[in-house]
Every structure is written in C-alpha cells, then in structure tokens.
Structure 1
C-alpha cells in the first residue's frame, strides 16, 4: 500500500491535465517549484554522493514528490472541489483521533504497540525498537512521560496534523466580516485539537499552535483574541512558576529542559543542525541525494538530523534550499496579500493555507515533515488550488462584480 497514495496522485494529475480546458498561465511560484524539481533531478544523474542510482532515485522521489501534489491542485478544475464540504472531513479525522487518544490515555497504552509499528520500522526502515515502550524514542520524553500519536505515525506527525485541523477550523468558520462562528462540529474539533496537542507533547507543534492563534488574531484584527492571548501568556507564566513544579514535576522538568536546551532531544537537534550547517558550508552544492533524511537514517548514517531545511541543504546545497524556501515564502506572502481581497470560499482557502504555511515552519526545524504524506499532501494540494484561484482572479477585469466572480469562479 506504500506506493498507492503516490499512484493516486499521479492518476489525479493526469486526469487534470487531460481535462484542462483553458490555457495554463504560469505564475512565479510555478517556476520556482519547477526549478526546484529540475535542479534536484540533476542530482539523480550527476556523480554526486556515494549512493547508487536506484537509491538516489528513491531519495529524489521522497524529496520532490510534493511537486506532483502541488500541480494536481494547480490544474484541477475549481468546480470539482467543494472546500467547505471536504474540510468537514478533516475535522472528523481530528475528532476521531482524539477519541482514540482517550483510549490510549485511559489504558496507558500506545495504539502503535497494537498495530505492529515496531515491526514495520524494522522490516522497512531497518530501525530497531527503541525506548522504554518498545517503539521509538519519539513516543516518550526524556523524563519518561508517554507521548501519544493516536492513529498517526508518531507524536510529531500527530502534532503537525493538529495544526492542519486548527488551520481548517479558522478558515472554515471565519466569515467575510472576520467573525468566528463555529457550529457543533467546529466546537468539537477545537476541543479535539487542544486535547490532541497537549498529549502529543510535541514542543514544536505546541509552539506553532499558539503562534497560529496569534497570527489569526492579527490577520482578522480580533482584539478579543489578542487580549486573551496576552492574558493567557501572563497567566501561563505564573502557573509555570508557582504551581507546575508542584503538581507535575515531570512535566515541569520537561519544559524547563526544553527552554534551557538541556533536554537530550533538544541537544541532539542542535548538534545535528550544526553538523548539517557545517556540511552545507563545506559543500555548498550538496553532498548528494540520500546524504540526509529518512533514507540516510536507514543505513545508520546521514548528516543534518531531523530538520527539513537542513536535509534539503545537505543533499542539494544552497541552491536547492533557496528554491525550497522561496516557495514557502512566496506562498505566505501571497496569502497575506490576497486575504482581504477575497470573499467566500476563496477567503476560506486563503486563510487556511496561510495558517498551515506558518504553522509548519517550526515543526520543519525538528522533523522531515515532507515524509509525512498527510501533512505534505494537504499543504501542497491546497497551495496549488489557491494559486489556481489567484491566477484566475488576476485575469478578471476590474469592472466585473464580486458576486459574478463568486458565482462563476469560486465554486470550491
């Protein structure tokens, strides 16, 4: 089943190309992403790095497959996608994930212990079971606290998936007057995200969760949320100082070690980052595909650790990293510029994508997030769909009414 998801994307892309009815107009982001793809493809054929052709091709696939996902969204007919309907499915996913999380907490049992997670990693990725729970170290903190992942691959992916859900909630239930009005499913989903982000114990995702709420308040100019955030930050600091070390000493130690960078996981990340940065400085054109990331870790090697940006920089050098960063920066900037110009479902898509792109920045510093199909596929498909909206709207004459525009071009 591993290649099935990729096959479905390729089929969807092929159908989109076949059914394309209007002239495709390239945007700046299209050129950036295509340049990244072509540039990375060169590393498959050039004699860069020690790995054979087949392994470099596998690494190329894992590093660049998001390009196919992006163009699937970029080419798909807007009339075929009803964002408000399908966004509800994502909320159902996070709600179901939180229900399973309750089972894990009540039984103090990782769901992955029942599904053969350790066996899968051993046979497919040559990774021995690690940690006190026979899974991997990512399922626990340095103080022994369990980190849960529900039915996701690991707590890091679970935390990042929670960010996707939070972005969708914000976009789906914020109307054109910037009022947040969730229905029953929305309220349950909000509770589910808060519950999930807490027990995933992913520091990067938790930080992003709070930052996304703050960005949302800034974008929508919601003074109530801004004031609430400032109050909660102040209250949280007091709670941490006066109560946390008494009520939850293990969690206190975990947070303290994180802040002071004395946590073994944090120290490990920093050391790996420094090694990766040093490798990029020494080899600005890269060490070759497979020199860093998941493929490298299966052979017991690799440079750069779990950092999406450094992994790309180590493999394809400064040029590849620059193109990858340029794509993300362009998307954030474009969403920020267009948000107040759009209405209806286009506005929903824009806000959702903006929060996703901002939300994944920190998790990418501590994980190879592109290896998560759920996170990568959702973010890049929505990116392509949004650029499709923007490219169409940029061609609409100024005299065309917004109502006509919504009825003809925004049925998504």
Structure 2
C-alpha cells in the first residue's frame, strides 16, 4: 500500500490506484472482520472501511494536480459518456429534491456508493500504463483466484467457513447490527436450502466470489488465447481455479452466467470451440448430478429447476414488489429506498434483489433505462475496442470488460451486484479504458484526449 500511495501522491502515477484496489477489495470484509476480532475497536474498523474511498479521493486529487494543462484539453465525448452524465444528473436531482422518505444524509451516502462506478469508469477513461504495468494487472488478478481456490480447498477439507475463523459474525453483529443466522453461525447466504456449505474464501460472501469468478476465468482465457503455448499451463490452472471456486459457491445465477458468457465469447469473438467446451462441461455436470452427487446437492439442483427453492421464490417476490412500486411511482421513489446498501433501512426498503429494479424503484423507469443503456453501450464499445486496437494489453482489457459485463447481466437480476466492490470497480475501470482505446482507434489524431500524459 505504501508503494501505491507514494506513486499516487508524490510521483503523479494516479493510475496505480488500480493495483491497490485489486489487492485490497477481495479481502475487504475479511480485513474488517479480523481487525474487529483482534482489537474490538470500531474506530480502527472505520479506518480500514473508508481506506478505499480515501485512496480513490487521493487518486482524483493526484489526477488534477499532476494533469498538465488540464484546462486546455478538449473532451472527446462518446455516447457512453453522455449516458453516464445523464444518469448522474438524474441521481443528483433525486439527492437535492425532497423525493422519498430517506433523510439527506442517508441519500448522500447512497449517492456516494452509486457514484463510485462512474469514478472508476472515469479513471479507466484516462488511464495510461506501461506494458509491464498492464502485465502486472493481469498477474495480480490471476493470483487472487489461485489464492481463493486454495482457501476454498482448505474450507472444504476442514468443513469450516473461513468466515468462522476471521470473525465475520462478530463484525457483522457489532458493525452492521446483523445477528448471526443459519446453521453455520454466519448468514443464510453461506448455505444452500439443504444446509450444504456455500464457500466464499476471503471474499465478502459466496455471491461476491461467484461473480468475481467470471472475471478470473475471462482474464485467464484471454491470457491463454494470446500467449505462447508453453505458457498455457498457467492460464489453464487459473481457469480451473475460477471454475472450482464457482462450483464451491453454489450460485445458480453465476453458474448459468458462466455458460452465457462462454456463448457470448464464442459468437462475438468467433471462438466456436468454446461452445463445444461449454456443452461438454454441461454434460459432465448433468452426469455428476444424476449419478454421483450427494442427495443434498441433487435436491438443491432439482428445487432450483422446478423453482421450489426458497431463495428463488424470494427473488420473485422481491421483483414483484419492486415492479409494483415502479407502476405506482414510474418517476422514482427516491434514493435509498431499495437495495441492500448501507443506509437502506428495512422500513424504507422496497424490493432490493435486482440491480435493474433497484435503480428503477429509486430513479424511476428513466433511471433504470439509463443504467441498462450504459451496460449495453459499454459492452458494445469494449467489443469494438478489442477488434480495432493493435495493442495486445488493451485488447485483453477490452475482452475482459465486455465478457465480464455480459456475464454479470444475469447476477444483476438476483443481487445488488454493484455492491460487489472487487468485480464492480475493476470491471468499470476496464470499460472506461476500453472506451478510451476505442476513441483513439477511430480518431484522426487532431484532438487531444484528456489523459495524464
């Protein structure tokens, strides 16, 4: 961390913030839990809790301070920039207008959370790294998933969640006022309806790890496709680790998203052998479930398919509640009235298990459509950037940005997925960098782009 801060503050290399986020965000909740368990100090927990925002503010400050002739640059606005500006303009209106029952402080905290994905996009939009630094980004990302799978193996063998060791329940009770629940003394998220263990490694919960595995697999896949064959074993290892961790999470939406992502990659990037690979994995999975899986896992899959799983029914009820509210208030019910973010109280919460509907409830139909448009355009631009750029590192970033955002489309239906800081922050940074890459590819070179160069 000290190296990153030194680079950001004293060297003007604000782009190095991405290294901090990659190495800090996956361990974020585990760090907070361990700190509270070791010290019992809420103050120390708060220091670590707001460390990521502090680094983000330092990064923005460094960008402004070290930007040469910042007021002489002309912005080259693309469609996605306009969508982001419109989305945040709408959010700001809901912040200052007396809409909804949440007080201004609560709305401001929620607005801060929503603003982060735009700030990460902005940082990516203006990032310039050396080739070795891009390689470091990918090495760090792949290292995260090797470590995560290793810890998953330990959890499985020892039959204990890492969160039982780190003090997650104690932290959750003291800081978030969430009482321990479930058969493992954590929360119900850490187990299936048949009481099977859902593992999270050092991530905040199984859903966070499951969504992040899509990022890990995509990073390893593009590394495999663009590297020498003698190096392929390492990328295969990372892909296997990501798939293994995904299985340990028992996340239905992320598992389905994995196959959707494979189909997207196969069709858009013309890698049709991936369809065969996906079909093969699916057949192996079916054979395993029918012939070799435990009764616990078998009925978990069966209840999911027949929609008799309590979690699936819960999602449906939350969607209906949110949709009904959108019908009642199509222009929005106000910030902090839906979702699972800090500050959204139970008495104000409407729905909350669908990222699209969460924005729809709070910002109205227009807000939801703007968010969906940002996702669609971001994916499209990333695909175009991948196809047009001659820089292999930027092409890899664009590939991952497009595939991960497609992979997350389904989990966004079942979770407030923008709260999964690691995959959300990193993927929005990648989308921003892809937009910059695409802009350079189509430009005539006459208009300077606002960067740190």
TM over 0.5: yes
Q: Deviations over 1:349-372 (max 9, x none)?
A: 111111111011111111111112
1:323 aligns with 2:370: yes
Q: Deviations over 1:157-216 (max 9, x none)?
A: 01011111112112233239xx98853432221121121011111111111112222222
How many angstroms apart in 1 are the aligned matches of 2:138 and 2:91? 33
Contact 1:13 1:71 survives alignment (8 Å): no
Sort the Cα spacing of 1:181 and 1:365 in 2 relative to 1 into closer, same or farther, 3 A.
Answer: farther
Q: How does 1:242-253 map to 2 (within 5 A)?
A: 242-244=290-292, 247-253=293-299
C-alpha RMSD of the superposition: 2.3
1:375 aligns with 2:426: no
Sort the Cα spacing of 1:51 and 1:222 in 2 relative to 1 into closer, same or farther, 3 A.
Answer: closer
Q: Deviations over 1:18-58 (max 9, x none)?
A: 44455431211111112111210111111111111111111
Contact 1:307 1:365 survives alignment (8 Å): yes
Q: Deviations over 1:331-364 (max 9, x none)?
A: 1122233432233222211111111110111111
Equivalent in 260, 274, 278 of residue 306 of structure 2: 260
Q: Secondary structure at the match of 1:376?
A: helix
Sort the Cα spacing of 1:235 and 1:129 in 2 relative to 1 into closer, same or farther, 3 A.
Answer: closer
How many angstroms apart in 2 are the aligned matches of 1:14 and 1:167? 32
How many angstroms apart in 2 are the aligned matches of 1:86 and 1:228? 27
Which residue is 1:6 aligned to? Answer: 53
Equivalent in 165, 185, 191 of residue 114 of structure 1: 165
How many angstroms apart in 2 are the aligned matches of 1:347 and 1:124? 42
Q: Deviations over 1:300-355 (max 9, x none)?
A: 55111321111111111111111111100001122233432233222211111111
How many angstroms apart in 2 are the aligned matches of 1:102 and 1:238? 23
**TM-score, normalization: structure 1?**
0.89
Contact 1:212 1:355 survives alignment (8 Å): yes
Contact 2:109 2:343 survives alignment (8 Å): no
1:303 aligns with 2:354: no
**TM-score, normalization: structure 2?**
0.82
- Residue 3 of structure 1, CA deviation: 1.5
Q: Deviations over 1:100-154 (max 9, x none)?
A: 1111111111111111212222233222111111110000000110101000000
Which residue is 1:388 aligned to? Answer: 436
Q: Secondary structure at the match of 2:166?
A: coil
Contact 2:385 2:441 survives alignment (8 Å): no
Equivalent in 218, 221, 231 of residue 167 of structure 1: 218
Which residue is 1:273 aligned to? Answer: 319
Equivalent in 334, 352, 357 of residue 400 of structure 2: 352
How many angstroms apart in 2 are the aligned matches of 1:223 and 1:37? 39
How many angstroms apart in 2 are the aligned matches of 1:62 and 1:289? 11
Which residue is 2:204 aligned to? Answer: 153
How many angstroms apart in 2 are the aligned matches of 1:80 and 1:291? 44
Contact 2:101 2:348 survives alignment (8 Å): no
- Residue 219 of structure 1, CA deviation: 3.0
How many angstroms apart in 1 are the aligned matches of 2:322 and 2:437? 38
Q: What count of residue pairs does the alignment treat as equivalent?
A: 394
Which residue is 2:336 aligned to? Answer: 290
Equivalent in 208, 212, 216 of residue 265 of structure 2: 216
Structure 1 unaligned residues grouped into runs of 5+ = 398-412
Q: Deviations over 1:269-301 (max 9, x none)?
A: 000001001101110111111111124654455
How many angstroms apart in 2 are the aligned matches of 1:118 and 1:225? 41
Q: Secondary structure at the match of 1:173?
A: helix
How many angstroms apart in 1 are the aligned matches of 2:411 and 2:83? 23
